[in-house]
Structure 1
């Protein structure tokens, strides 16, 4: 790890509000024996970078579990915790609180519903945004899908010419946002009210990382995949 990377002041913010209609108490529901949010907190704590991790929440139960897992907690007001509240509003509130203790170089924004990332992913993404001198970064997975849209003229192909259908492997590289890792300089959020802006970098991850836990089915799929990962680790010990 070079000196430029080592000296950067980095914080991580994990928004986790209490109200979840799709899956009640989703953020603290057990997944593979741990509360969902604990998986993400532990990934940050185990990273090689020195990262201060904060959970932004309106829920005391989430706050308690986050503290036990090794995170600091920022309690956000109800006005920023409703169904229509944006992640950016929670991030800006947290950033304002954190910056009272000193200036920050980069904010790592993680969503606890994306558990299929590793501490190594977090470290590599940080290294990339710093070395590339980018202002923001998002994680992605390669996409080889043929996309269509419906207009007044009917169905239209978007990313290829259906009259000259290419082989999937011959298509120009395209990437799907997977929602797992975002990193940005504080000024980006303040200027654009957006997690992305300025010079943007892409951090590529594997296809499994695109799983977002937002339903009962997602929980079952994640549980199965995590159990397989554990079995594979045991088998190779």
Structure 2
């Protein structure tokens, strides 16, 4: 079996929801849900990359390895791959693959991590990402005119062509892929997750309120 490192990226200075990574969701700060999720299946190889002192202090209190992310790798426009590469350059051990857990997706089905790793091993993937089925009738607007994109007017929703969206719950990448500057390989496996938790991706206060409702409902 491959060796895996879980990386949780949690930069400071969120523009739309300041301090969100330490904002309390139920009994835990937002980042605590990703840490707990990892440990539910016995993972201890967990690293938080952050430029936020409060996040770093909390992670260390949970016996999680912390890598200080330089400010130049923590800007709003900086891609997450640069933070992952920085972690891999900073840790002493070598790992076959990286599991990325974003704090902004705090609610995940309990069995998801085990299932994802099993598929990653069996399929010998370069990468794996979680996706969910899109149920919306989508279209474009050009010059104030709406043009259906994935359906015909009057078509039933259940007859739509299956389309999927990236839900952000979990990613796995081979380390060599990340070192090449890529996150998705040629052999990328889309793991379909049809669970209400896939709808939660926290960027705003409204997203946070929705997460609280889901957390309480699905306890």
- TM-score, normalisation: structure 2: 0.91
Note if contact 1:41-1:70 (Cα within 8 Å) is conserved in structure 2: no
How far, CA to CA, are the matches of 1:187 and 1:117 in structure 2?
A: 27
How far, CA to CA, are the matches of 2:160 and 2:110 in structure 1?
A: 32
Match for 1:35 among 29, 35, 38? 29
Structure 1 residues not aligned, in runs of 5+? 1-6, 231-237
* Greater helix share, structure number: 1
Secondary structure of 2:33's partner?
helix
**CA displacement 1:96-144 (0-9 Å, x = unmatched):** 223x322x11110110010120341111111111111111111111112
Q: CA RMSD in A?
A: 1.8
Note if contact 2:109-2:197 (Cα within 8 Å) is conserved in structure 1: no
* Pairing 1:155–2:143 present: no
Note if contact 1:43-1:118 (Cα within 8 Å) is conserved in structure 2: no
Note if contact 1:14-1:111 (Cα within 8 Å) is conserved in structure 2: yes
Q: How many residues align?
A: 218
Secondary structure of 2:171's partner?
strand
Note if contact 1:140-1:175 (Cα within 8 Å) is conserved in structure 2: yes
Report the counterpart of residue 144 of structure 1 in structure 2: 135
How far, CA to CA, are the matches of 1:10 and 1:137 in structure 2?
A: 13
Report the counterpart of residue 3 of structure 1 in structure 2: none
- TM-score, normalisation: structure 1: 0.85
What does residue range 6-17 of structure 1 map to in structure 2 within 5 Å?
7-17=1-11
Note if contact 1:111-1:179 (Cα within 8 Å) is conserved in structure 2: yes
What does residue range 195-210 of structure 1 map to in structure 2 within 5 Å?
195-205=183-193, 206-210=195-199
How far, CA to CA, are the matches of 2:133 and 2:62 in structure 1?
A: 32
* Pairing 1:121–2:134 present: no
